[in-house]
Amino acid sequence: MDKKKLIPDFIKKQKLAVLSTVTAENSSQSAVLEFGETDDLEIIFDTFSTARKYKNIKQNNKVSLVIGWDENITVQYEGLAEELFGEEREEYKKKYFKKNPHAKRWENKPRMTYFRVKPTWIRYSDLNKHPWEIHEITF
């Protein structure tokens, strides 16, 4: 089984993720958010520069996400978040809006920002199978 195909296929079907960040005081914070993805398993999301997650990422760009939880299948995802600017930002926004067209209504709001997360480690777990089907990728 090609785990590099299994994982993106699963992620593409999901609409929400939980993003976890760390404060300057080393407290954890989590938020549910919509996201987009690339074929390279990068995650794209938007947030306001006034949000807690924005401040946290700017001081520590190591983040984790949990994607999916219905039907006993999940992806645990760790990566490095990077704020997008210029042409790169516009290209990633297209991918984000393809999955989340309704999010365009916030595109021109003051302080709206966009991030890409490049994966460093991913675990796919399907607990419906016996034994459990678990695949890990380290980048």
Residue type, 45: F
Residue type, 1: M
Which own/partner contact pairs does 84-92 have at CB distance under 8 Å and 24+ positions apart? 84/113, 84/114, 84/115, 84/116, 89/114, 92/36, 92/38, 92/44, 92/116
CATH of the domain at 102: 2.30.110.10
Cβ atoms of residues 63 and 117 within 8 Å: yes
Q: Which two tokens stand for residue 36?
A: 């987009």
List strand residue ranges (DSSP E) for the chain, in order: 16-22, 28-34, 36-37, 43-48, 62-67, 73-83, 112-126, 133-138
What is the per-residue pLDDT for 2?
67
Over 60: is that where the pLDDT of 1 sits?
Answer: no
For the stretch 45-72, pLDDT in tens is 999 999 999 999 999 999 999 999 889 9
Say if residue 110 is preceded by a cis peptide, omega within 30 of 0. Answer: no
Q: Which domain, by its residues, includes 40?
A: 3-138
Cβ atoms of residues 17 and 46 within 8 Å: no
What pTM does this model have? 0.94
Cβ atoms within 10 Å, residue 138: 9
Total of domains in the chain: 1
For the stretch 80-90, pLDDT in tens is 999 999 999 99
